[in-house]
A and B are shown apart, each in its own frame.
Chain A
Amino acid sequence: MNNLFSIRRLSVLLNKDLRQCFLVSFNTLLVFASSYAFLCIFSLFTSFQFTPDDRIPFFFLFTLLFVMMLPRLVYGNVNDKVKGIEYGMLPVSYLEKFVSMIITVGIVAPLCFVLAIFTLDNLFVLISPEDMGAVGFFWDGARYGINISSTLESLGSMFLIQIPFVLGNLYFRGHKVTKTALLLILVHIVLIAILIIFGMRYAISNPFEGSTEEQLYDMVADSNIDKWIYVIYYYVIPVVLLVLSLLKIKKLQYK
Protein backbone atom coordinates (compact mmCIF):
# COMPACT_ATOMS: atom_id res chain seq x y z
CA MET A 1 0.00 0.00 0.00
CA ASN A 2 1.24 3.48 -0.84
CA ASN A 3 2.37 5.29 2.27
CA LEU A 4 1.99 8.74 0.72
CA PHE A 5 -1.41 8.77 -0.90
CA SER A 6 -4.41 6.51 -1.01
CA ILE A 7 -7.91 7.47 -2.14
CA ARG A 8 -9.44 5.16 0.48
CA ARG A 9 -7.55 6.83 3.34
CA LEU A 10 -8.29 10.30 1.96
CA SER A 11 -12.00 9.56 1.75
CA VAL A 12 -12.04 8.26 5.34
CA LEU A 13 -10.19 11.37 6.51
CA LEU A 14 -12.39 13.68 4.48
CA ASN A 15 -15.45 12.06 5.98
CA LYS A 16 -14.10 12.70 9.49
CA ASP A 17 -12.93 16.24 8.72
CA LEU A 18 -16.25 17.23 7.14
CA ARG A 19 -18.21 15.87 10.08
CA GLN A 20 -15.91 17.74 12.42
CA CYS A 21 -16.19 20.87 10.29
CA PHE A 22 -19.97 20.71 10.51
CA LEU A 23 -19.82 20.20 14.28
CA VAL A 24 -17.46 23.07 15.03
CA SER A 25 -18.40 25.65 12.41
CA PHE A 26 -22.17 25.28 12.45
CA ASN A 27 -22.60 27.76 15.32
CA THR A 28 -20.41 30.33 13.59
CA LEU A 29 -22.36 29.88 10.37
CA LEU A 30 -25.53 30.33 12.38
CA VAL A 31 -24.21 33.61 13.87
CA PHE A 32 -23.43 35.04 10.43
CA ALA A 33 -26.70 33.78 8.94
CA SER A 34 -28.64 35.20 11.89
CA SER A 35 -26.90 38.57 11.50
CA TYR A 36 -27.79 38.57 7.82
CA ALA A 37 -31.37 37.56 8.61
CA PHE A 38 -31.56 40.22 11.31
CA LEU A 39 -30.57 42.93 8.82
CA CYS A 40 -33.17 41.62 6.37
CA ILE A 41 -35.90 41.53 9.01
CA PHE A 42 -34.88 44.95 10.27
CA SER A 43 -35.27 46.36 6.77
CA LEU A 44 -38.75 44.83 6.46
CA PHE A 45 -40.06 46.65 9.52
CA THR A 46 -38.15 49.93 9.33
CA SER A 47 -37.11 52.41 6.69
CA PHE A 48 -33.64 50.84 6.66
CA GLN A 49 -32.73 50.10 3.05
CA PHE A 50 -31.33 46.64 2.37
CA THR A 51 -31.49 46.38 -1.37
CA PRO A 52 -29.35 43.91 -3.32
CA ASP A 53 -26.75 46.68 -3.71
CA ASP A 54 -26.58 46.99 0.07
CA ARG A 55 -26.58 43.27 0.67
CA ILE A 56 -23.68 42.36 -1.59
CA PRO A 57 -20.97 44.02 0.58
CA PHE A 58 -22.41 42.32 3.66
CA PHE A 59 -22.44 39.01 1.89
CA PHE A 60 -18.79 39.31 0.88
CA LEU A 61 -17.74 40.64 4.27
CA PHE A 62 -19.44 37.78 6.10
CA THR A 63 -18.01 35.20 3.71
CA LEU A 64 -14.56 36.71 4.05
CA LEU A 65 -14.68 36.66 7.86
CA PHE A 66 -15.98 33.09 7.80
CA VAL A 67 -13.25 31.78 5.49
CA MET A 68 -10.60 33.54 7.56
CA MET A 69 -11.90 31.87 10.72
CA LEU A 70 -12.43 28.41 9.21
CA PRO A 71 -8.90 26.97 9.56
CA ARG A 72 -8.88 27.97 13.25
CA LEU A 73 -12.39 26.64 13.81
CA VAL A 74 -11.89 23.25 12.22
CA TYR A 75 -8.19 22.60 12.71
CA GLY A 76 -7.36 24.90 15.61
CA ASN A 77 -6.18 22.02 17.78
CA VAL A 78 -3.88 20.25 15.34
CA ASN A 79 -0.69 21.75 16.77
CA ASP A 80 -1.77 21.67 20.41
CA LYS A 81 0.48 19.42 22.49
CA VAL A 82 -2.51 17.74 24.16
CA LYS A 83 -5.54 18.31 21.98
CA GLY A 84 -3.61 17.68 18.78
CA ILE A 85 -2.49 14.16 19.63
CA GLU A 86 -5.62 12.61 18.15
CA TYR A 87 -4.91 14.34 14.83
CA GLY A 88 -1.19 13.59 14.91
CA MET A 89 -1.81 9.87 15.46
CA LEU A 90 -4.28 9.40 12.60
CA PRO A 91 -2.93 6.69 10.29
CA VAL A 92 -2.93 8.86 7.19
CA SER A 93 -0.07 10.62 5.42
CA TYR A 94 0.75 14.30 5.75
CA LEU A 95 -0.24 14.78 2.11
CA GLU A 96 -3.68 13.30 2.75
CA LYS A 97 -4.10 15.52 5.81
CA PHE A 98 -3.17 18.56 3.74
CA VAL A 99 -5.50 17.71 0.84
CA SER A 100 -8.38 17.00 3.19
CA MET A 101 -7.73 20.26 5.05
CA ILE A 102 -7.79 22.30 1.83
CA ILE A 103 -10.92 20.58 0.51
CA THR A 104 -12.71 21.07 3.83
CA VAL A 105 -11.86 24.68 4.66
CA GLY A 106 -11.06 25.95 1.18
CA ILE A 107 -13.89 24.45 -0.85
CA VAL A 108 -16.69 22.61 0.92
CA ALA A 109 -17.28 24.82 3.96
CA PRO A 110 -17.18 28.16 2.05
CA LEU A 111 -19.54 26.76 -0.58
CA CYS A 112 -21.94 25.63 2.13
CA PHE A 113 -21.75 29.09 3.68
CA VAL A 114 -22.44 30.81 0.36
CA LEU A 115 -25.35 28.46 -0.33
CA ALA A 116 -26.77 29.12 3.13
CA ILE A 117 -26.66 32.91 2.64
CA PHE A 118 -28.06 32.66 -0.90
CA THR A 119 -30.90 30.52 0.38
CA LEU A 120 -31.58 32.99 3.15
CA ASP A 121 -31.45 35.90 0.73
CA ASN A 122 -33.92 34.25 -1.63
CA LEU A 123 -36.18 33.37 1.26
CA PHE A 124 -36.48 37.01 2.22
CA VAL A 125 -37.00 38.00 -1.41
CA LEU A 126 -39.90 35.54 -1.54
CA ILE A 127 -41.33 36.96 1.68
CA SER A 128 -41.14 40.58 0.61
CA PRO A 129 -40.11 41.15 -3.01
CA GLU A 130 -40.87 44.90 -2.80
CA ASP A 131 -38.46 45.56 0.07
CA MET A 132 -35.72 43.13 -0.85
CA GLY A 133 -35.65 43.70 -4.62
CA ALA A 134 -37.63 41.63 -7.08
CA VAL A 135 -35.05 38.87 -7.14
CA GLY A 136 -32.16 37.79 -4.94
CA PHE A 137 -28.92 39.55 -5.78
CA PHE A 138 -27.42 36.39 -7.20
CA TRP A 139 -30.16 35.78 -9.76
CA ASP A 140 -30.23 39.33 -11.01
CA GLY A 141 -26.62 38.92 -12.02
CA ALA A 142 -26.60 41.11 -15.10
CA ARG A 143 -27.71 44.09 -13.05
CA TYR A 144 -25.26 43.63 -10.23
CA GLY A 145 -22.40 42.20 -12.19
CA ILE A 146 -22.68 38.86 -10.44
CA ASN A 147 -22.85 35.52 -12.15
CA ILE A 148 -21.59 32.02 -11.51
CA SER A 149 -18.17 32.73 -12.97
CA SER A 150 -17.72 35.98 -11.03
CA THR A 151 -18.90 34.26 -7.86
CA LEU A 152 -16.43 31.43 -8.35
CA GLU A 153 -13.73 34.03 -9.04
CA SER A 154 -14.63 35.80 -5.80
CA LEU A 155 -14.54 32.51 -3.92
CA GLY A 156 -11.16 31.84 -5.53
CA SER A 157 -9.92 35.22 -4.25
CA MET A 158 -11.24 34.37 -0.83
CA PHE A 159 -9.34 31.10 -0.94
CA LEU A 160 -6.20 33.10 -1.71
CA ILE A 161 -6.92 35.24 1.35
CA GLN A 162 -7.55 32.09 3.37
CA ILE A 163 -4.22 30.45 2.52
CA PRO A 164 -2.15 32.54 4.99
CA PHE A 165 -4.71 31.66 7.67
CA VAL A 166 -4.21 27.96 6.95
CA LEU A 167 -0.49 28.41 7.49
CA GLY A 168 -0.97 30.70 10.51
CA ASN A 169 -3.21 28.10 12.09
CA LEU A 170 -0.40 25.57 11.85
CA TYR A 171 2.38 27.86 13.08
CA PHE A 172 0.75 29.86 15.86
CA ARG A 173 -0.48 28.21 19.05
CA GLY A 174 -2.79 30.95 20.32
CA HIS A 175 -4.73 33.91 18.87
CA LYS A 176 -4.16 32.35 15.49
CA VAL A 177 -6.53 34.51 13.42
CA THR A 178 -5.46 37.79 15.05
CA LYS A 179 -1.75 37.02 14.77
CA THR A 180 -2.08 35.97 11.13
CA ALA A 181 -4.14 39.07 10.27
CA LEU A 182 -1.62 41.36 11.98
CA LEU A 183 1.26 39.62 10.24
CA LEU A 184 -0.49 40.00 6.89
CA ILE A 185 -1.00 43.72 7.49
CA LEU A 186 2.65 44.06 8.47
CA VAL A 187 3.84 42.18 5.39
CA HIS A 188 1.68 44.37 3.16
CA ILE A 189 3.02 47.54 4.77
CA VAL A 190 6.57 46.31 4.15
CA LEU A 191 5.77 45.32 0.55
CA ILE A 192 4.14 48.69 -0.16
CA ALA A 193 7.14 50.46 1.37
CA ILE A 194 9.47 48.43 -0.84
CA LEU A 195 7.38 49.28 -3.91
CA ILE A 196 7.45 52.98 -3.05
CA ILE A 197 11.23 52.90 -2.56
CA PHE A 198 11.73 51.10 -5.87
CA GLY A 199 9.28 53.47 -7.55
CA MET A 200 11.13 56.50 -6.25
CA ARG A 201 14.49 55.13 -7.32
CA TYR A 202 13.03 54.40 -10.76
CA ALA A 203 11.60 57.90 -10.92
CA ILE A 204 14.95 59.45 -10.03
CA SER A 205 16.78 57.51 -12.71
CA ASN A 206 13.96 58.08 -15.25
CA PRO A 207 12.68 61.63 -14.69
CA PHE A 208 8.97 62.03 -15.41
CA GLU A 209 9.20 65.76 -16.13
CA GLY A 210 7.01 66.67 -19.01
CA SER A 211 5.37 63.23 -19.11
CA THR A 212 1.61 62.98 -19.23
CA GLU A 213 -0.34 60.63 -16.96
CA GLU A 214 -0.89 58.27 -19.89
CA GLN A 215 2.84 58.18 -20.57
CA LEU A 216 3.48 57.31 -16.93
CA TYR A 217 0.99 54.44 -17.15
CA ASP A 218 2.68 53.27 -20.34
CA MET A 219 6.05 53.34 -18.58
CA VAL A 220 4.70 51.13 -15.81
CA ALA A 221 3.10 48.84 -18.39
CA ASP A 222 6.34 48.63 -20.35
CA SER A 223 8.31 47.71 -17.25
CA ASN A 224 5.93 44.73 -16.68
CA ILE A 225 6.03 45.46 -12.94
CA ASP A 226 2.27 45.10 -12.63
CA LYS A 227 2.40 41.68 -14.32
CA TRP A 228 5.19 40.53 -12.05
CA ILE A 229 3.32 41.70 -9.00
CA TYR A 230 0.20 39.90 -10.23
CA VAL A 231 2.10 36.65 -10.81
CA ILE A 232 3.91 36.88 -7.47
CA TYR A 233 0.79 37.84 -5.54
CA TYR A 234 -1.67 35.43 -7.11
CA TYR A 235 0.54 32.45 -7.90
CA VAL A 236 4.00 32.43 -6.31
CA ILE A 237 3.09 33.50 -2.77
CA PRO A 238 0.01 31.23 -2.48
CA VAL A 239 1.97 28.24 -3.77
CA VAL A 240 4.84 28.97 -1.35
CA LEU A 241 2.40 29.30 1.57
CA LEU A 242 0.65 26.06 0.61
CA VAL A 243 3.97 24.21 0.40
CA LEU A 244 4.97 25.62 3.80
CA SER A 245 1.64 24.42 5.24
CA LEU A 246 2.23 20.95 3.80
CA LEU A 247 5.74 20.81 5.28
CA LYS A 248 4.48 22.08 8.63
CA ILE A 249 1.91 19.27 8.78
CA LYS A 250 4.70 16.82 8.00
CA LYS A 251 6.99 18.13 10.73
CA LEU A 252 4.44 18.90 13.45
CA GLN A 253 5.69 17.98 16.91
CA TYR A 254 3.59 17.80 20.04
CA LYS A 255 5.91 19.44 22.59
Chain B
Amino acid sequence: MVTISDLEFGYGRMPVLKNIDMSLREGNIYGLLGKNGVGKTTLLKLISGLLKPTSGEIDICGSNPFKREPQTLKDIYFLPENFILPKVTPIQYARMYAPFYQSFDSRLYYDLLEHFEVDKDVKLTKMSFGQQKKAMIAFAISLNTKILLMDEPSNGLDIPSKQQFRQSLSSAMTDDKMIVISTHQAKDLENLIDPIIIMDNHGVILNNSVKSISEKLYFSLDKEALHNALYSELTLGGVLNVSLNSGSQESVVYIEALFNAVQNNRDVIVSLFGK
Protein backbone atom coordinates (compact mmCIF):
# COMPACT_ATOMS: atom_id res chain seq x y z
CA MET B 1 0.00 0.00 0.00
CA VAL B 2 2.78 2.46 0.95
CA THR B 3 6.32 1.89 -0.24
CA ILE B 4 9.11 4.21 0.81
CA SER B 5 12.48 3.84 -0.87
CA ASP B 6 15.72 5.55 -0.03
CA LEU B 7 13.87 8.56 1.32
CA GLU B 8 15.75 11.66 2.36
CA PHE B 9 14.40 14.93 3.65
CA GLY B 10 15.79 17.98 5.40
CA TYR B 11 14.76 21.42 6.54
CA GLY B 12 17.14 23.74 4.75
CA ARG B 13 20.59 22.24 5.09
CA MET B 14 19.68 20.23 8.17
CA PRO B 15 18.94 16.63 7.23
CA VAL B 16 16.10 15.08 9.20
CA LEU B 17 15.36 11.81 7.46
CA LYS B 18 17.83 9.67 5.57
CA ASN B 19 17.97 6.10 4.34
CA ILE B 20 14.32 5.49 5.02
CA ASP B 21 13.12 2.29 3.39
CA MET B 22 9.92 0.62 4.44
CA SER B 23 6.75 -0.98 3.24
CA LEU B 24 3.46 -0.49 5.00
CA ARG B 25 0.63 -2.91 4.30
CA GLU B 26 -3.14 -2.71 4.80
CA GLY B 27 -4.73 -4.51 7.71
CA ASN B 28 -2.22 -3.16 10.24
CA ILE B 29 -2.04 -0.48 12.89
CA TYR B 30 1.58 0.63 12.81
CA GLY B 31 3.15 2.23 15.84
CA LEU B 32 5.82 4.74 14.82
CA LEU B 33 8.28 5.31 17.66
CA GLY B 34 11.40 7.41 17.92
CA LYS B 35 13.11 10.03 20.04
CA ASN B 36 12.21 13.70 19.70
CA GLY B 37 13.49 15.17 16.47
CA VAL B 38 14.08 11.95 14.54
CA GLY B 39 11.40 12.99 12.05
CA LYS B 40 8.28 11.02 12.90
CA THR B 41 5.93 13.92 12.15
CA THR B 42 7.98 14.77 9.08
CA LEU B 43 7.61 11.21 7.84
CA LEU B 44 3.83 11.36 8.32
CA LYS B 45 3.74 14.67 6.46
CA LEU B 46 5.78 13.17 3.63
CA ILE B 47 3.40 10.22 3.34
CA SER B 48 0.49 12.68 3.33
CA GLY B 49 2.06 14.68 0.50
CA LEU B 50 2.42 17.79 2.64
CA LEU B 51 6.18 17.79 2.07
CA LYS B 52 8.32 16.96 -0.93
CA PRO B 53 11.18 14.51 -0.38
CA THR B 54 14.68 15.81 -1.05
CA SER B 55 15.40 12.49 -2.71
CA GLY B 56 13.95 9.01 -2.80
CA GLU B 57 10.40 7.96 -3.44
CA ILE B 58 7.10 7.45 -1.72
CA ASP B 59 4.55 5.37 -3.54
CA ILE B 60 0.96 5.13 -2.40
CA CYS B 61 -0.90 2.59 -4.50
CA GLY B 62 1.05 3.74 -7.57
CA SER B 63 0.78 7.48 -6.89
CA ASN B 64 3.23 10.09 -5.73
CA PRO B 65 1.56 11.74 -2.72
CA PHE B 66 3.21 15.14 -3.25
CA LYS B 67 1.25 15.53 -6.49
CA ARG B 68 -1.73 15.78 -4.14
CA GLU B 69 -4.13 14.30 -6.62
CA PRO B 70 -7.72 14.13 -5.36
CA GLN B 71 -7.85 10.41 -6.15
CA THR B 72 -4.94 9.78 -3.79
CA LEU B 73 -5.91 12.29 -1.12
CA LYS B 74 -9.45 10.96 -0.74
CA ASP B 75 -7.93 7.78 0.68
CA ILE B 76 -5.60 9.51 3.16
CA TYR B 77 -6.34 11.44 6.31
CA PHE B 78 -3.69 12.97 8.53
CA LEU B 79 -4.64 13.94 12.06
CA PRO B 80 -1.89 16.26 13.36
CA GLU B 81 -0.92 16.58 17.00
CA ASN B 82 -2.12 20.18 17.21
CA PHE B 83 -4.79 21.90 15.22
CA ILE B 84 -6.77 25.11 15.07
CA LEU B 85 -10.44 24.44 14.57
CA PRO B 86 -13.12 26.73 13.15
CA LYS B 87 -15.88 28.22 15.30
CA VAL B 88 -18.38 25.49 14.47
CA THR B 89 -19.97 22.57 16.26
CA PRO B 90 -18.83 18.99 15.49
CA ILE B 91 -21.97 18.58 13.36
CA GLN B 92 -21.21 21.71 11.33
CA TYR B 93 -17.59 20.64 11.02
CA ALA B 94 -18.68 17.35 9.50
CA ARG B 95 -21.01 19.20 7.12
CA MET B 96 -18.06 21.28 5.94
CA TYR B 97 -15.44 18.56 5.57
CA ALA B 98 -17.18 15.20 5.25
CA PRO B 99 -18.54 15.82 1.72
CA PHE B 100 -14.94 15.55 0.46
CA TYR B 101 -14.80 11.93 1.58
CA GLN B 102 -17.35 9.64 0.01
CA SER B 103 -16.77 6.88 2.55
CA PHE B 104 -17.65 9.08 5.54
CA ASP B 105 -19.98 7.26 7.94
CA SER B 106 -22.12 9.85 9.72
CA ARG B 107 -23.76 7.26 11.98
CA LEU B 108 -20.34 6.10 13.15
CA TYR B 109 -19.33 9.74 13.70
CA TYR B 110 -22.29 10.47 15.95
CA ASP B 111 -21.81 7.16 17.79
CA LEU B 112 -18.15 7.94 18.40
CA LEU B 113 -18.92 11.46 19.60
CA GLU B 114 -21.36 9.94 22.05
CA HIS B 115 -18.87 7.25 23.04
CA PHE B 116 -16.22 9.93 23.65
CA GLU B 117 -18.78 12.05 25.52
CA VAL B 118 -18.29 15.01 23.19
CA ASP B 119 -21.24 17.40 23.02
CA LYS B 120 -22.05 17.71 19.33
CA ASP B 121 -23.88 21.01 19.81
CA VAL B 122 -21.01 22.91 21.44
CA LYS B 123 -18.63 24.89 19.26
CA LEU B 124 -15.24 23.24 18.85
CA THR B 125 -13.50 26.45 19.86
CA LYS B 126 -15.32 26.39 23.20
CA MET B 127 -14.09 22.87 24.01
CA SER B 128 -11.01 21.87 25.98
CA PHE B 129 -8.05 20.52 24.01
CA GLY B 130 -8.91 16.97 25.06
CA GLN B 131 -12.51 17.35 23.88
CA GLN B 132 -11.34 18.86 20.59
CA LYS B 133 -8.95 15.97 20.14
CA LYS B 134 -11.68 13.42 20.75
CA ALA B 135 -13.96 15.18 18.25
CA MET B 136 -11.20 15.10 15.66
CA ILE B 137 -10.36 11.47 16.38
CA ALA B 138 -14.05 10.61 15.94
CA PHE B 139 -14.07 12.49 12.65
CA ALA B 140 -10.85 10.87 11.45
CA ILE B 141 -12.09 7.35 12.20
CA SER B 142 -15.51 8.02 10.63
CA LEU B 143 -13.96 9.08 7.34
CA ASN B 144 -13.05 5.43 6.67
CA THR B 145 -10.05 6.40 4.58
CA LYS B 146 -7.76 3.58 3.54
CA ILE B 147 -4.79 5.30 5.15
CA LEU B 148 -5.14 7.05 8.49
CA LEU B 149 -2.08 8.83 9.89
CA MET B 150 -2.22 10.02 13.48
CA ASP B 151 0.40 12.14 15.20
CA GLU B 152 0.38 11.71 18.99
CA PRO B 153 -3.36 11.00 19.13
CA SER B 154 -3.37 10.09 22.82
CA ASN B 155 -1.76 13.40 23.90
CA GLY B 156 -4.26 15.43 25.87
CA LEU B 157 -6.65 12.53 26.44
CA ASP B 158 -7.62 11.54 29.96
CA ILE B 159 -7.35 7.91 31.12
CA PRO B 160 -10.91 6.81 30.21
CA SER B 161 -10.60 8.56 26.84
CA LYS B 162 -7.41 6.67 26.05
CA GLN B 163 -9.23 3.42 26.60
CA GLN B 164 -12.16 4.66 24.48
CA PHE B 165 -9.70 5.66 21.79
CA ARG B 166 -8.08 2.21 21.69
CA GLN B 167 -11.49 0.56 21.58
CA SER B 168 -12.81 2.81 18.81
CA LEU B 169 -9.74 2.40 16.68
CA SER B 170 -9.58 -1.36 16.94
CA SER B 171 -13.30 -1.74 16.22
CA ALA B 172 -13.04 0.53 13.17
CA MET B 173 -10.06 -1.37 11.78
CA THR B 174 -10.67 -3.50 8.70
CA ASP B 175 -8.45 -5.52 6.38
CA ASP B 176 -8.40 -2.85 3.68
CA LYS B 177 -7.27 -0.05 5.99
CA MET B 178 -3.90 0.95 7.32
CA ILE B 179 -3.30 3.14 10.34
CA VAL B 180 0.02 4.69 11.34
CA ILE B 181 0.26 6.17 14.81
CA SER B 182 3.25 8.24 15.79
CA THR B 183 3.58 8.39 19.54
CA HIS B 184 5.75 8.89 22.59
CA GLN B 185 3.05 7.39 24.78
CA ALA B 186 3.86 3.79 23.89
CA LYS B 187 2.12 2.45 26.97
CA ASP B 188 -1.16 4.06 25.91
CA LEU B 189 -1.16 2.04 22.75
CA GLU B 190 0.13 -1.30 23.97
CA ASN B 191 -2.00 -4.15 22.61
CA LEU B 192 -3.16 -1.87 19.80
CA ILE B 193 -0.13 -1.17 17.64
CA ASP B 194 1.30 -4.00 15.61
CA PRO B 195 3.73 -3.89 13.79
CA ILE B 196 6.11 -1.57 15.57
CA ILE B 197 8.39 0.81 13.70
CA ILE B 198 11.33 2.34 15.57
CA MET B 199 13.44 4.95 13.87
CA ASP B 200 16.41 7.12 14.71
CA ASN B 201 18.49 9.77 12.95
CA HIS B 202 20.07 7.15 10.72
CA GLY B 203 16.87 5.56 9.48
CA VAL B 204 14.47 2.79 10.38
CA ILE B 205 15.93 0.38 12.94
CA LEU B 206 12.97 -1.91 13.32
CA ASN B 207 9.76 -2.52 11.38
CA ASN B 208 8.39 -5.83 12.61
CA SER B 209 5.28 -7.44 13.96
CA VAL B 210 4.95 -7.99 17.69
CA LYS B 211 4.99 -11.73 16.99
CA SER B 212 8.33 -11.63 15.19
CA ILE B 213 9.75 -9.36 17.90
CA SER B 214 8.72 -11.81 20.62
CA GLU B 215 10.28 -14.63 18.62
CA LYS B 216 13.64 -12.91 18.67
CA LEU B 217 13.58 -10.96 21.91
CA TYR B 218 12.63 -12.20 25.35
CA PHE B 219 11.04 -9.95 27.94
CA SER B 220 11.30 -11.22 31.50
CA LEU B 221 10.76 -9.89 34.99
CA ASP B 222 13.61 -11.06 37.17
CA LYS B 223 15.04 -10.36 40.58
CA GLU B 224 18.14 -8.78 39.11
CA ALA B 225 19.57 -7.49 35.86
CA LEU B 226 20.76 -10.29 33.61
CA HIS B 227 24.37 -10.05 32.46
CA ASN B 228 23.43 -10.86 28.86
CA ALA B 229 20.42 -8.54 28.77
CA LEU B 230 20.22 -5.97 25.98
CA TYR B 231 18.37 -3.72 28.35
CA SER B 232 17.41 -3.83 32.02
CA GLU B 233 15.05 -1.60 33.91
CA LEU B 234 14.21 -1.56 37.57
CA THR B 235 10.46 -1.71 38.10
CA LEU B 236 8.25 -2.17 41.16
CA GLY B 237 7.88 -5.90 40.52
CA GLY B 238 11.57 -6.54 39.89
CA VAL B 239 13.97 -5.97 37.02
CA LEU B 240 12.55 -6.01 33.51
CA ASN B 241 15.13 -7.60 31.20
CA VAL B 242 15.14 -7.63 27.42
CA SER B 243 17.43 -10.30 26.05
CA LEU B 244 17.86 -12.35 22.90
CA ASN B 245 15.34 -15.14 22.68
CA SER B 246 17.68 -18.10 22.37
CA GLY B 247 14.97 -20.73 22.59
CA SER B 248 11.43 -20.26 21.42
CA GLN B 249 10.11 -18.92 24.67
CA GLU B 250 7.02 -16.76 24.52
CA SER B 251 6.85 -13.44 26.30
CA VAL B 252 4.82 -10.26 26.32
CA VAL B 253 6.44 -7.40 24.44
CA TYR B 254 6.78 -4.30 26.61
CA ILE B 255 6.99 -1.50 24.07
CA GLU B 256 8.87 1.02 26.21
CA ALA B 257 11.47 -1.56 27.19
CA LEU B 258 11.73 -2.65 23.57
CA PHE B 259 12.25 0.98 22.53
CA ASN B 260 15.06 1.47 25.02
CA ALA B 261 16.66 -1.85 24.10
CA VAL B 262 16.60 -0.86 20.43
CA GLN B 263 18.07 2.57 21.11
CA ASN B 264 20.93 1.09 23.15
CA ASN B 265 21.73 -1.77 20.78
CA ARG B 266 21.13 -0.41 17.31
CA ASP B 267 23.57 -2.66 15.46
CA VAL B 268 22.48 -5.81 17.26
CA ILE B 269 18.83 -5.11 16.48
CA VAL B 270 19.51 -4.24 12.84
CA SER B 271 21.47 -7.46 12.32
CA LEU B 272 18.86 -9.47 14.23
CA PHE B 273 15.84 -8.25 12.31
CA GLY B 274 17.43 -7.12 9.08
CA LYS B 275 16.33 -3.79 7.69
Contacts and interface: CB of A to CB of B under 8 A. Distances in A.
Do chains A and B stick together as partners? yes
Interface residues of A, number: 30
Nearest to A77: B84
Interface of B: 11, 45, 48-52, 68-74, 76-78, 80, 82-84, 86-88, 96-97, 99-101
Nearest to B145: A91
A92 interface: yes
Contact of B101 (A13, A15, A91): A91
Interface in A57-98: 77, 82-83, 85-86, 88-94, 96
A12 B48 contact: no
Nearest to B78: A89
Given A254-B51, A255-B51, A90 B100 contact: yes
B153 to A, nearest CB: 14
A92 B100 contact: yes
A94 B66 CA distance: 12
Q: Give 4 nearest A-B pairs by CB, closest first.
A: A91-B73, A91-B74, A254-B50, A3-B69
B75 to A, nearest CB: 8
A20 B95 CA distance: 12
Contacts, number: 77
Contact of B99 (A15, A20, A254, A255): A15
A255 B48 CA distance: 13
Interface string A1-42: 101001001001101100110011000000000000000000
Indicate the member of A3, A24, A77 with the most B CB atoms within 10 Å. A3
A16 B71 CA distance: 19
Given A85-B50, A91-B70, A254-B50, A12 B83 contact: no
A86 B50 contact: no
A253 interface: yes
Given A253-B50, A254-B50, A19 B96 contact: yes
B270 to A, nearest CB: 30
A86 B83 contact: yes
B14 to A, nearest CB: 11
Contacts of B45: 85, 254
B70 A93 contact: yes
Contacts of B69: 3, 93
